[in-house]
């Protein structure tokens, strides 16, 4: 507990009891942070809900976040959607962006890329730099809107000017690869360095660094972008996919991860082929497509990727993306077992017994 906030806490508590929505929201935040009182997420949720029900816009957005994380209450994505929508309709840009993300992921509502685009656009009109970046991504990839690389470049540029790191990196990527603009590698490399706070004279030096010895994750991201700038390196594309997938050095972005995995897979990277198959298999940022997953797993499985072998065997066993084929399932389970995947031995034995009966 921080004693300097105790007087503030007591004051807000007195006013909150008089149904003042601003004091209720402030009190909720103090309980959430443990300032002036013991941290108590249940009480934070209680006062946030009181304020939200009285129309406090930030409280409505925060209540959505609490439901999303399950803090002070049970996790409930439908209620997350409800409260984000309330705040979004009241023109709160952060809630508008959050609502767009829910539509993009299909959380608390049906996945709808057109509605995601709509709410990103609303948030961008209110100056939200992250939403402006997301509009660029929508236009670049054709998600929820007709693909337009020139507009993508424009929105990345706008977001980058507001200092959004991810936009600077993607704007640099656009310059390097000629996406929506003429190729200008020097400008692209300059933006990469600017994003991580490096000097211009580090542009060449960074490639001389040993990747394994780079400590800062953001510097690793910079290194990988530089690698791509010089030779479109399939390993660098795959590693960037991993970084965006887990949010290492950059904000987590599964759409961007998928795009880098696809580019790497198209160059023949084995693990990237498995990853793209996995995204199609499980409907991660794309519609479920078991047939495409199966085809990609086949490529990786034939090259010895044990994860692809297991998933391929499972799809044959279940008849997903193809006709049910026990012989093929057994074949690929055996291959995975030969690669040291002992955990599938029970599946294999069950199918072998089924084959004998």
Tens-digit pLDDT profile for residues 160-183: 999 999 999 999 999 999 999 999
Query: pLDDT tens digit string along 145-159?
Result: 999 999 999 999 999
CATH no. of 281-357: 1.25.40
What average pLDDT does the structure give for the chain? Answer: 92
Q: Pull the structure tokens for residue 260.
A: 């880098």
Least confident of 70-74, 92-96, 119-123, 188-192: 188-192
Categorise residue 75: left if φ over 0, alpha if ψ from -120 to 50, beta otherwise. beta
Q: Which residue's entry shows tokens 């955990």? A: 343
Q: What is the pLDDT of residue 4?
A: 77
Residue 238 to residues 143, 227, 258, Cα–Cα distance (Å):
22, 12, 10
Report which DSSP code applies to 206. G
Query: pLDDT tens digit string along 248-270?
Result: 999 999 999 999 999 999 999 99
* pLDDT for residue 231 is more than 70: yes
Q: What is the pLDDT of residue 1?
A: 52
DSSP 232-295: --HHHHHHHHHHHHHTSSS---HHHHHHHHHHHHHTT-HHHHHHHHHHHHHTSSS---HHHHHH
Q: How far is C-alpha 311 from the geometric centre of its chain's CA atoms?
A: 23
Q: What is the pLDDT of residue 2?
A: 54
Domain boundaries, the chain: 128-240, 281-357
> What does the pLDDT average to over 224-228?
90
CA distance 194 to 100: 29
Q: Which residue's entry shows tokens 């090259």? A: 303
> What does the pLDDT average to over 32-41?
94
Higher pLDDT, residue 227 or 200 = 227
Q: Buried (b) or exposed (e) across 225-244, using 16+ Cβ within 10 A?
A: bbbbbeeebbbbbbbbbbbb
Q: Whats the size of the chain, residue-wise?
A: 357
Higher pLDDT, residue 304 or 197 = 304
pTM for the complete prediction? 0.86
DSSP 41-99: HHHHHHHHHHHHHTT-HHHHHHHHHHHHHTSSS---HHHHHHHHHHHHHTT-HHHHHHH
* pLDDT for residue 200 is more than 70: no
CA distance 228 to 222: 10
* pLDDT for residue 350 is more than 60: yes
**Yes or no: domain 128-240 corresponds to CATH 1.25.40.10:** yes
* pLDDT for residue 38 is more than 90: yes
* pLDDT for residue 70 is more than 90: yes
* CATH fold match for the domains 128-240 and 281-357: yes
Least confident of 133-142, 178-187, 224-233, 331-340: 224-233
Query: pLDDT tens digit string along 311-323?
Result: 999 999 999 999 9
Residue 286 has φ and ψ, to the nearest 5°, of -135, 165
């Amino acid at each position: 507990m921080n004693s300097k906030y105790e007087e503030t806490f007591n004051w807000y508590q007195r006013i909150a009891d008089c149904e003042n929505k601003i004091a209720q929201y402030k009190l909720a935040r103090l309980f959430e942070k443990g300032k002036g009182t013991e941290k108590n997420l249940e009480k934070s949720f209680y006062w946030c809900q009181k304020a939200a029900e009285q129309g406090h816009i930030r409280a409505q957005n925060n209540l959505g976040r609490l439901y999303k994380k399950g803090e002070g209450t049970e996790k409930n994505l439908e209620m997350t959607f409800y409260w984000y929508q309330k705040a979004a309709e009241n023109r709160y840009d952060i809630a508008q962006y959050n609502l767009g993300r829910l539509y993009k992921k299909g959380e608390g509502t049906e996945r709808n890329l057109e509605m995601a685009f709509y709410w990103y656009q609303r948030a961008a009109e209110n100056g939200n730099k992250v939403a402006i970046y997301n509009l660029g991504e929508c236009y670049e990839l054709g998600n929820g809107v007709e693909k337009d690389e020139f507009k993508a470049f424009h929105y990345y540029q706008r977001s980058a000017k507001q200092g959004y790191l991810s936009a600077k990196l993607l704007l640099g990527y656009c310059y390097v690869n000629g996406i929506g603009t003429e190729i200008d590698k020097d400008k692209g490399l300059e933006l990469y360095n600017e994003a991580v706070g490096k000097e211009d004279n580090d542009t060449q030096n960074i490639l001389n660094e040993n990747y394994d010895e780079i400590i800062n994750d953001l510097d690793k991201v910079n290194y990988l972008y530089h690698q791509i700038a010089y030779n479109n390196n399939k390993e660098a594309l795959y590693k960037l996919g991993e970084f965006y997938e887990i949010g290492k050095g950059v904000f987590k972005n599964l759409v961007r991860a998928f795009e880098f995995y696809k580019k790497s897979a198209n160059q023949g990277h084995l693990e990237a082929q498995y990853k793209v198959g996995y995204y199609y298999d499980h409907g991660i940022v794309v519609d479920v497509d078991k047939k495409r997953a199966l085809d990609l797993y086949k490529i990786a499985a034939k090259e010895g990727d044990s994860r692809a072998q297991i998933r391929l065997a499972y799809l044959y066993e279940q008849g997903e993306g193809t006709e049910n084929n026990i012989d093929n399932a057994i074949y690929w389970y055996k291959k995975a077992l030969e690669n040291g995947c002992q955990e599938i031995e029970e599946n294999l034995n069950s199918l072998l017994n089924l084959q004998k009966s």
